[in-house]
Amino acid sequence: MPRPPALSPSRAGDFQQCPLLFRYRTVDRLPEAPSAAATLGTLVHAVLEKLYDLPPRERTVGAAQDRLEPQWRAMLEKQPDLAELHADASAEAAWLADGRARLATYFELENPQRLEPAGREEFVELQLEDGPLLRGIIDRIDIAPDGSIRIVDYKTGKTPDPRYGEKKERFQMRFYALVVERLRARRPALLQLLFLKDGGRLEIRPTGDDIARIEHEIREIWAEITAAAEAGRFRTRRSALCGWCSFQAQCPEFGGTELPLDPDAVERALGVRPATA
Ligand code: SF4
């Protein structure tokens, strides 16, 4: 059975970046070539998740690094086209070495022998009253003996410059804080992002105002998404990020032709049918 339409932090981020990008990803579900950076993120996340299957004393940096390559081979078996990410064996070896370095950095930030996560890669869903269904996957949830909740997210990139970045990361963490607070009837005490490229850490202690603001922001984004869907019009929003967009060939900003909109696909993805359809 298809899942009902929902909003995740990355979908909301796509729409804020560019409504047409959002449409191509969420409504048209156009295929995108996997990137080496994103795949490294998936791989390192999988290793860190499984690390906690080991008894605490065996959670060493060597044990994590030893699991990287077998995990990569398992990913390749499921998705053989990932082999195209690397031009040759030495490029693949350098990429795996980057992955091992990320894992070593993780151990500088935390001691997994002292942690017993309450949730790993936890799928969460929350229906906002008179609003969207919120959905996401939380890398890790820790619960202290006194019941305090900590939400942890791993990033394989570097710490964003607070002058220009962080907005996306803060949005994502506050989004999860709202969802966890409603699901567990307790506000998370700490939201923690760990940046495994340079060992940076971003911590947020969410307040009631933060939660109220993020709920308001999410409702506004959802209202804009449904308005675009009803109008059958997803505008372009050109920015420096267009350089990383997979859809320039279908984007009028770059001389491409916008693909015709399929009203059924809009309804399936967003639960709203364009008024013109
Ligand atoms: S190239 Fe830029 S403007 Fe065009 S769809 Fe992608 S993000 Fe939007």
Q: How many domains are contained in the chain?
A: 1
Q: CB of 18 closer than 6 A to ligand 1? A: yes
Please, are residues 151 and 190 in contact by the beta-carbon 8 Å criterion?
Answer: yes
**In a domain? residue 135:** yes
Does residue 160 register a pLDDT over 90?
no
Degrees (nearest 5) of the Cα angle 232, 218, 167? 110
Q: CB of 236 closer than 6 A to ligand 1? A: yes
- High-pLDDT (> 90) share of the chain, %: 91
Q: How far is the CA of 217 from the centre of ligand 1 (A)?
A: 23
**In a domain? residue 177:** yes
**In a domain? residue 150:** yes
**In a domain? residue 82:** no
**In a domain? residue 161:** yes
Provide mean pLDDT across the span 205-219: 96
Tokens of 217: 């922001």
Q: How far is the C-alpha of 168 from the C-alpha of 9, rounded, in Å?
A: 8
H or E element in which residue 136 lies: strand 133-143
Does residue 166 register a pLDDT over 90?
no
Q: Is 107 exposed, middle or buried (0-12, 13-18, 19+ CB in 10 A)?
A: middle
**In a domain? residue 95:** no
- Residue 179: give the domain boundaries: 119-214
Tokens of 41: 């993120």
Per-residue pLDDT of 96-123, as tens digits, reads 999 999 999 999 999 999 999 999 999 9
Per-residue pLDDT of 43-85, as tens digits, reads 999 999 999 999 999 999 999 999 999 999 999 999 999 999 9
- Tell me the Cα Rg of the chain: 20
Tokens of 152: 């942890």
Site to substitute for ligand 1 among 15, 17, 241, 245, most atoms within 8 A of C-beta: 245
Does residue 189 register a pLDDT over 60?
yes
**In a domain? residue 178:** yes
- CATH number for 205: 3.90.320.10
How much is the pLDDT for 133?
96
**In a domain? residue 155:** yes
